[in-house]
């Protein structure tokens, strides 16, 4: 393991082999003890990473969230100015006029949704990769520098974006036709992104790694993902509700501002919890706690 190298998989040099009995007292050089984690330790580890590196995490997260919110707001306003001028048709409108009005409203609404989706996809992918690298260093108690994190993230960014799009397509198609297989695939491949970033693997390999790590622990991974999602929804609602309470003509702008603020806090937590869940599964299934302990002791 190195600062720039991936977290070696089972078929890569440096992998310690099968799991060994843990030492009587688990070392904790960073945000988590180096042993298989409990659910609370995973969530607390995500918060601990944010607390230990507040300037880096919240500063970068706020920058990404504000850029995303401004881009979303500006593009939506510029491309959808006409939607605000569309007036409901009266009872005397012909069927053709009603159909034309409905089609235009639907088109502009779809454009707005598409813009929001693309901007959100880009910002969430960027921040997810960033936080995964930060967590990887924080677990070992290493000093985290913005320049180093960005240098490691740069070659992984496009593959991570491709993986994220493919993951959403797989889950989306499966969910549309069969809800249960959609949920199953969502959990089965939930650890692909951390695997791609930390192991520096390809997209196909990352999906395979996630499948292997989740196999046999599907319900546990599902429960942790569900709990993480509930926490993010709760915190998001608490933050965004005050911004949406009657600010008159500026209510739309306030809504975007609320989304930026909530994303600054919630997105790093969700990404950090996902990365720690990946690390936990590797410690449970592959004895990675031994490898991490050696790396932390050697200061690599």
Confidence of residue 4 (pLDDT cuts 50, 70, 90): very low
> For residue 1, what are its two tokens?
């393991």
Tens-digit pLDDT profile for residues 169-212: 999 888 887 777 889 999 999 999 999 999 999 999 999 999 99
What whole-number distance in Å separates Cα of residue 90 and Cα of residue 98? 9
Residue 108: per-residue pLDDT? 64
The pLDDT of 5-22, averaged and rounded, is: 57
Q: Any idea what the Cα angle at residue 160 is, between residues 159 and 163, rounded to 5°?
A: 85
Residue 34 has pLDDT above 80, yes or no: yes
Are 206 and 213 within 8 A, CB to CB?
A: no
What whole-number distance in Å separates Cα of residue 258 and Cα of residue 250? 12
Residue 5: per-residue pLDDT? 47
pLDDT > 90 fraction of the chain, expressed in percent and rounded: 50
The pLDDT of 7-13, averaged and rounded, is: 64
Residue 16: per-residue pLDDT? 54
The pLDDT of 242-249, averaged and rounded, is: 63
Residue 246 has pLDDT above 60, yes or no: no
Residue 88: per-residue pLDDT? 54
Query: CB-based burial of residue 241 (10 Å sphere; 0-12 exposed, 13-18 middle, 19+ buried)?
Result: exposed
What whole-number distance in Å separates Cα of residue 31 and Cα of residue 47? 9
């Amino acid at each position: 393991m190195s600062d720039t190298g991936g977290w070696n998989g089972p078929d890569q040099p440096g992998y310690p082999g099968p799991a060994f009995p843990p030492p009587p007292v688990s070392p904790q050089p960073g945000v988590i003890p180096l042993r298989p984690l409990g659910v609370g330790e995973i969530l607390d580890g995500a918060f601990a990473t944010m607390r230990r590196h507040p300037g880096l995490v919240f500063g970068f997260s706020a920058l990404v969230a504000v850029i995303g919110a401004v881009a979303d707001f500006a593009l939506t306003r510029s491309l959808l100015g006409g939607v605000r001028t569309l007036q409901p048709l009266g009872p005397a409108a012909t069927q053709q006029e009603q159909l034309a009005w409905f089609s235009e409203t639907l088109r502009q609404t779809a454009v707005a949704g598409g813009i929001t989706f693309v901007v959100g996809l880009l910002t969430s992918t960027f921040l997810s990769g960033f936080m995964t690298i930060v967590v990887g260093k924080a677990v070992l108690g290493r000093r985290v520098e913005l320049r180093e994190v960005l240098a490691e993230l740069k070659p992984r960014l496009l593959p991570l974006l491709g993986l994220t799009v493919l993951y959403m397509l797989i889950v989306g198609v499966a969910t549309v036709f069969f809800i249960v297989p959609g949920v199953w695939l969502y959990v089965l491949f939930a650890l692909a992104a951390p695997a791609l970033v930390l192991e520096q693997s390809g997209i196909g390999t990352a999906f395979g790694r996630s499948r292997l790590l989740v196999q046999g622990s599907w319900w546990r991974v599902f429960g942790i993902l569900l709990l993480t999602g509930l926490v993010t929804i709760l915190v998001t609602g608490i933050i965004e509700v005050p911004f949406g309470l009657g600010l008159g003509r500026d209510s739309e702008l306030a809504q975007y501002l609320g989304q930026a603020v909530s994303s600054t806090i919630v997105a790093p937590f969700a990404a950090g919890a996902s990365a720690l869940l990946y690390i936990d599964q590797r410690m449970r299934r592959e004895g990675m706690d031994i490898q991490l302990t050696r790396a932390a002791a050697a200061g690599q």
